A and B are shown apart, each in its own frame.
Chain A
Amino acid sequence: MAMKQSVGKRAGVTILAWVVAFLIFFPILWTFLTSFKSELDAIAMPPKFLFFNWTLENYAEVQQRSNYLHYAFNSIVLSIGANVVGLLIAVPAAWSMAFAPTKRTKDVLMWMLSTKMMPAVGVLVPIYLLFRDLHLLDSLWGIGLVLMLLNLPILIWMLYTYFKEIPVDILEAARMDGASLLNEILYVLTPMAVPGIASTMLLAIILSWNEAFWTLNLATSNAAPLTAFIASYSAPEGFFWAKLSAASTLAIAPILILGWFSQKQLVRGLTFGAVK
């Protein structure tokens, strides 16, 4: 079909596709550009697109004024820590579901998926009260625990779909050779499943990084990650667009890059294997 299309039509489709892609991407590009403007250039009318005095002072000021590094550190610790712990719990579970299924395995998997569908507001009140009484509000441990539990069903599901593709014979051969279960998982299964585990982790980290219900409600300052850092910019203080843009760029850049690397695996993870 493609061959038969006329050159004109193909050029038209190409231009249209690029215009659409550009429009969708534009808000991010605009934020990026604005982050290098002075506050006056940021609100200039007509807008200055490329020809302004490029400056890095917003980045310095964002760090100085609202301590970006503190929040970035929390985001990194939370999103990596929570999911590493989650992985340690999820790998054995996914192993047993993929390689030692029982009659109830399917039901358990479905039940785990169903916990993802419970709206957060349904459990906000008890979790908030429990955390208050256990002194877990605004603590990295508390928020990390929540982020880990939020992702656990996704981790198990994705790992399960990857493990299913590994031939069980190989694991059984290792078992015949007298490998213990721990060795079987650590030295036989894990190396074969590295690509699957890596993309699972990537998606989980992205989801944790952007989680903005629990992090906003359970953290105020000490344990607050970048979602809360940006929310503190919601009350405008004089000219602040360039600084908002710098803060936003800093908050999304790391995960955008990770996301671009993982986009191929994303579909599978986000649809629980329903679309491959």
Chain B
Amino acid sequence: MATQQTTTAGRVLVAPSVILLFAWMIVPLVMTLYFSFLRYSLLDAENWGVAGLQNYTAFLTDPNFLTALLNTLILVGSVLVISVCGGILVALLMDQPVFGQNVMRLMVIAPFFVMPTVSALVWKNLLMNPDSGLFAWIARSLGFSPIVWFTNWPMLSVIIVVSWEWLPFASLILLTALQSLDEEQKEAASLDGAGPISYFGYIVLPHIARAITVVILIETIFLLSVFAEIYVTTSGGPGVATTNIPFLVYKQALLNFDVGSASAGGIIAVILANIVAIFLMRIVGRNLEG
């Protein structure tokens, strides 16, 4: 359909976006790659030199890196499990014909719109503070001693906060997928005498499987770069207990001013994210065909 003229126009109109995104991602990425092979500290900027693979070997053999990698995986994995399982339950509940469904929907989606710095500080202070937080009061009322969340269970605390932020996302996407389930299919299943569990296992789960995959992949991309929640609550501590890869790179770059080492960390983060991205792109790409 496209004529020669519109094709040319199309190229011209797409060009600014392509050039900008190229400049934004590819150019800095190449720079990061270049820096990662340098011995380059902002504190001693004159005295830079080629480091070869030293930054990588230093980063990869640094025990803090292994901890950070492990922390990243624990954080991503736990939040995924909580938000996807929780999201399925919430979505199933909200799909029921209950009174005030619309208001309920607004309440459930709300945490997603809260900026990460706010979520983290509100949870840390108003809810999880061991002296006068709400959880401490609940624990004491039930006769337990309050948990000192961010000191004794720092990673768990961060996981709880981040899960709260992402549960609504999973719920909303899965609810949308649930609502496209055929009424006829539901009726057929109930006529065939399917119980709730086999109904869920054979009808619902296969129907929302694709949406679950999408949720997992998109959340993984965002969860691999959780930063603000850690920045305002624990600053990666105590020790390195809540330092994930983004926070480690931030520390190397903007607190220790070690450009070379931070760049090597950045490249490692990119490789990790790309592994996930390849899968997501396949799914979205398949959708583009249809």
Binding site for B on A (CB under 8 A): 1-2, 4, 10, 13-14, 16-18, 20-22, 24-25, 27-28, 30-31, 34, 43-47, 89-90, 92-93, 95-97, 99-102, 106, 108-110, 112-130, 149, 152-153, 156, 168, 172, 175, 181, 206, 209-210, 212-213, 216-217, 226-228, 230-231, 233-234, 236, 241, 244-245, 248, 251-252, 255-256, 258-260, 263, 266-267, 270-276
Contacts and interface: CB of A to CB of B under 8 A. Distances in A.
Interface in B1-46: 1-2, 6-7, 9-11, 13-14, 16-18, 20-21, 24-25, 27-29, 31-32, 35
Nearest to B98: A14
Given A14-B99, A21-B108, A213-B227, A227 B176 contact: no
B236 interface: no
B132 A1 contact: no
Contacts of B115: 209-210, 212, 226-227, 230, 251-252, 255
A100 B9 contact: yes
Interface of B: 1-2, 6-7, 9-11, 13-14, 16-18, 20-21, 24-25, 27-29, 31-32, 35, 89-90, 93-94, 96-100, 104-119, 121-123, 125-127, 131-132, 134, 137, 141, 164, 167-169, 172-173, 176-177, 180, 186-187, 190, 210-211, 214, 218, 221, 224-225, 227-228, 231-233, 245-246, 249-250, 253-254, 259, 262-263, 265-267, 269-270, 272-274, 276-277, 280-281, 283-285, 287-288
A101 B10 contact: yes
A24 B168 contact: yes
Contacts of B27: 126
B93 A121 contact: no
Contacts of B1: 168, 172
Contacts of A149: 20-21, 24
